[in-house]
Chain A
Amino acid sequence: MFNPISFAFKKAKSENRPALLTYTVAGDSSKKQSLEILKSISKKVDILEIGVPHNTPVADGSQIQTSSYRAIKNGIKVNDIFKIVKDFKKFDKNKPIILMGYYNMIFQYGENEFLKKCKISGVNGLIIVDLPWPENKKFTTKCKKKSIFFIQLLSPTTSKSRLKKIINDSHEMIYFISMLSTTGGKLKVSSKEIMSNYNKIKKVNSKKNVVIGFGITEKTIKSLKKADGLVVGSAICEEITNSIKKRQNPVTNVYNVVNRLKNKIK
C-alpha cells in the first residue's frame, strides 16, 4: 500500500540527494510551539520524526533528554501528540510523519489502540528504540496491517547473521545507528567507516531505504550525503534549548539550522 515515506525517498533520489529527516520532541517547548516548528521546517524536510518524550530514556543523550523533560514538564500527553500530528497534517497532508519513542508508552496505551490512533491522526511510521528484533515481530505485523512502517534499527554491533534476518523482516525503511553512542554523541568514527557499514546493509537488500542517524550535525552531514537519508535530532533539540536561554525565537532559529543542513546536502 502507498506510504508517503516511500515517496519522500523517491523524490530525494530524483533530486540526487539524501532525504533529510529531522527529529523534534513533541511538546518542546510547548504543544503550540512544537507544532509551529514542524510547520516552519516542513518545506525543507522530507520526513519529520516526532519524539514521544519519556522520562527514563536509556538511549538518549543530554540534548534530547533536556527536550523531553521540558516537554513532559509542560504537560504533554500521548493524546496531545496525536493532536499535534493531526493538526500538522491539516497543514501539509503529504509530509510523512514518524513517531519515535520508547515501548512503555505504547504498552500503556495498548498496542492496538495506539496504532488505531496513529492511523486516524496520520502517522506513517514508528521507531521504537527499545523494542528490538525479534521481540518486535508481533508488533511489526500489526503495523504492516495498518500500512504503518515499523522502522527497524541496526547498529555497528549488529552481527552479520542478525543483520540479514532483521533486514528480511523490515519494512521499506531502515535506521542505521552510525556508531556506539547515545543520541547526540560526537561523531567518533570516520564517515568512511560509517559508509562502509552502511554499504553492507545496502548489499543485503538495495531496495530498502537506509537512513543514518546519531552524531549528525551541520559539520558532519556533508560527509554522509551518499546515504538514502540522514537524520538530525540532537543538534535541533540543542538549538531549542539555546534559543530559550538566549530568549530568542526557537521557531526561527530551528528553521535556520534546518535550512543550512539542507543546503549542505543539495
Chain B
Amino acid sequence: MKLKKGIPVIDQGNKLGFWGGKFGGNFVPETLKKPIEDLEILFNKLKKDNKFINERDKYFKNWVGSPTRFIKLENLTKHVGGAQIWSKVVSDANGGAHKIYNATVHCLLAKRSGKKIICGDTGAGYAGKMLSMAAKKFGLKCKIFMGAKDIQRQQPNVKAMKKNGAEVIPVYSGSQTLVDAVSECMRYWVANCDKVAMCVGSTVGPAIFVRICGWSTSQISRELKIQLINEFGSVPKKLKLYNCVGGGSSSFGFWNEFMDYDKKQCEFIGVEAGGPAKSKKHAAPLTYGSKIGILHGAAQYVNQNTDGQIEETESISAGLDYPGISPLHCFLKDTKRARYTAASDEEALNAYKLVTKFEKLRPSLEPSHAFSVAIADSKKLSKDTIVVVNSCGDAYKDRGILEKRLGKKYV
C-alpha cells in the first residue's frame, strides 16, 4: 500500500472508491446508488470549476471567516520547557469549529443539485449546528439527527440548531450517540433521497462523502501553510501537527497540504479518544488495533465483536465518540504517513486545565485530547521543533461536563 505524491489523497481511491484497495468503498443499499452517483458527478465537475471554487472561497473568507488565527502559546511553551507550542485556532471560524467548511460545501452542492432540504448527523452537535447555520444562509430546510444521549450532554449546540430553524430529531436506538445518529440519517436519506440532500458530518460514510468532507476541511492546512511561511520564512524543518481524531475530518484537513512533505520534516500525530482510564470501552480503533469492518457504507478499522456487531464506545467527548474512523486515516496509518495514539478522558481534562491556566484559549474536549499528547511530547522535544495543535472546537458546548468534572471555576 502506497501513498502517491502529487495527487490529492481524496482522489487516490480506486474506481470503486477504495483507498489502498481496501478502505472505503460504497457498501450501501441499492436505492442510494443513484443519488451517490449523481453527487459524485456533480462534485467531480464542480471541484474543477473555477467559478465554484471562487464561490466557495468567497463564503469561506467573508462568512466563515478565514484565515483563522495561528498563534504561539508562549506561556504554555515556557511552562512545558521543550518544543515551541503553537495553535491553529480553528474554533475562530463562524460557529466555533471546523465543521462549518463541510457544511458550507454541502449546502452549495445541494443548491446546485436543486434540492431544497438537507439532512445531517451530529455527535457533539457542531456538525449539526454548522449545517443548520449554512442551511439557513443558503435557504435550505434542515433536519439534524442526533443521539438522545448527545442531546442531553451538548445542550448549547442543540439550542443553536433550533434557533437556526433546524428540526432536531432525537435518535433512541442503540447507544443513542453519533453512530446511531449517522445510521438514522442514512435511513432517512434512503427513504427521501429523491428530494433531500445528505451531509455526512465527517470524513466517513460512502466514499463520496469522505472526499467532499476532506476537500472542504483542507482549507485549514491551506491557511496554515501560508501562516507558517509568513512566520518562519518556510515550512519549518521540524514540524509536528497534532490533531484529535474521531471521524477524522479536522485532522485530515489540518494535514492535507503537508501530505507530500517527508514525515521526518512534517509529522502527523492523530489522537483518538481513549475513554475513561478505568473503562475497557474506548473510541480509538487505530490505537487499540481494531479489525477492518464495514460501518456506514465504508470499510475501515472499527470497534466490533467477533461476529461483526459494532461495539459501543465510551468517551467524555461526544465528537470523538465513534466506533469507526475515516478510511483516509486507515490509509494514512497503513502507509505509515501518520501515527496514531490515544488520550483518556482524564488526560484530556488535565490538558484542558493546563491550557486554560496558561493561555487565553478554551479548547473543547475534542482538541483537549490532542493537547494532552502534544504537551507530553513537547517536554522531550528540542526548542527548534514547532508543535502545532489544531484547536478545532470551543469549550462553550462542554460547559455542563466541565462544571461537573472540574468545578465551576473552569467553566
Please state if A132 and B26 are interface contacts (CB–CB under 8 Å): yes
Contact present for B190 and A69 (CB under 8 Å): no
Given contacts A105-B307, A155-B31, contact A56 B295 (CB under 8 A): yes
Q: Are A182 and B308 in contact (CB under 8 A)?
A: no
Task: Tell me the bound Cα distance from A180 to B190 in angstroms.
Answer: 6
A85 to B106, CA, bound (A): 46
A-chain residues with CB within 8 Å of residue B294 when the two chains form the complex: 102-104, 107, 130
Contact of B30 among A69, A103, A105, A153 (CB under 8 A): A153
Min CB distance A53 to B, Å, is 8
Contact (A55, B174) CB under 8 Å given A129-B29, A130-B29, A157-B193: yes
| Cβ of B71 to closest chain A Cβ, rounded Å | 40
Q: A154-B30, A157-B31, A158-B33 are in contact. Are A107 and B308 (CB under 8 A)?
A: yes
Q: Are A132 and B28 in contact (CB under 8 A)?
A: yes
Q: Are B174 and A61 in contact (CB under 8 A)?
A: no
Interchain CB contact under 8 A, B173 and A65: yes
Does A181 sit within 8 A of B, measured CB to CB?
yes
Q: Is A264 positioned at the interface, with any CB of B under 8 Å from its CB?
A: no
Whether B69 sits at the interface, judged by CB under 8 Å, is no
Q: Which of B26, B30, B295 has the most CB of A within 10 A?
A: B30
8 A Cβ contacts from B6-64 to A: 16, 25-35
CB within 8 Å for A109 and B31 given contacts A55-B174, A157-B193: no
CB distance from B390 to the nearest CB of A (A): 29
Least CB distance from A158 to B in Å reads 6
Determine whether the beta carbon of B194 is less than 8 Å from that of A180: yes
Q: How large is the interface on A (under 10, 10 to 19, 20 to 34, 35 or more residues)?
A: 35 or more
Q: Which of B269-319 contact A (CB under 8 A)?
A: 291, 293-297, 304, 306-310
> In the docked arrangement, what's the CA distance between A56 and B304, Å?
11
- Taking CB atoms and an 8 Å cut-off, the chain A residues in 125-177 that contact chain B are 129-135, 153-159, 162, 177
What B residues does A133 contact at CB under 8 A? 30
Task: Kindly provide the distance from the CB of A116 to the nearest chain B CB, expressed in whole angstroms.
Answer: 17
- B194 and A78 form a contact (CB under 8 A): no
Is A54's CB within 8 Å of the partner chain B?
yes
- Bound-complex Cα distance A102 to B30 (A): 13
Complex: A78 Cα to B297 Cα, angstroms = 21
A244 interface residue, CB < 8 Å from B? no
B177-199: CB near A (< 8 Å → 1, else 0) gives 00110010011001111100000
In the bound complex, do residue A130 and residue B193 qualify as a contact, i.e. CB atoms below 8 Å apart?
no
**Chain A contacts of B308 at CB under 8 A?**
54, 78, 104-109
Interface centre among A56, A61, A106 (most CB of B within 10 A): A56
For residue B194, which residues in chain A have a CB less than 8 angstroms away from its CB?
157, 180
A108 contacts B306, C-beta separation under 8 Å: yes
Q: Which residues of A contact B183 (CB under 8 A)?
A: 56-58
CA distance A68 to B307 in the complex (A): 14
Min distance, Cβ B361 to any Cβ of chain A, angstroms:
36
Q: Is the CB of A59 within 8 A of B190?
A: yes
A159 to B131, CA, bound (A): 30
List the A side residues contacting B16 at CB < 8 Å: 134-135
Which residues on A sit within 8 Å (CB–CB) of B174?
55-56, 69
Q: With A and B bound together, what is the CA distance between A57 and B180 in angstroms?
A: 10
Q: How far is the CB of A157 from chain B (nearest CB, A)?
A: 4
With a cutoff of 8 Å between Cβ atoms, the chain B residues found around residue A156 in the complex are 31
Q: Which 5 A-B pairs have CB atoms at the shortest separation, nearest pair first?
A: A108-B308, A157-B34, A104-B294, A155-B31, A59-B29
Sample 13 A-B pairs with CB under 8 A, ordered by A number.
A55-B174, A56-B296, A58-B186, A59-B190, A60-B187, A69-B173, A104-B294, A131-B27, A135-B27, A157-B30, A157-B32, A162-B34, A177-B29
Contacts A157-B30, A180-B192 given; 6 further ones with Cβ under 8 A?
A60-B187, A78-B307, A103-B27, A108-B308, A158-B33, A180-B31
B-side interface residues toward A, CB under 8 Å? 16, 25-35, 173-174, 179-180, 183, 186-187, 190-194, 291, 293-297, 304, 306-310
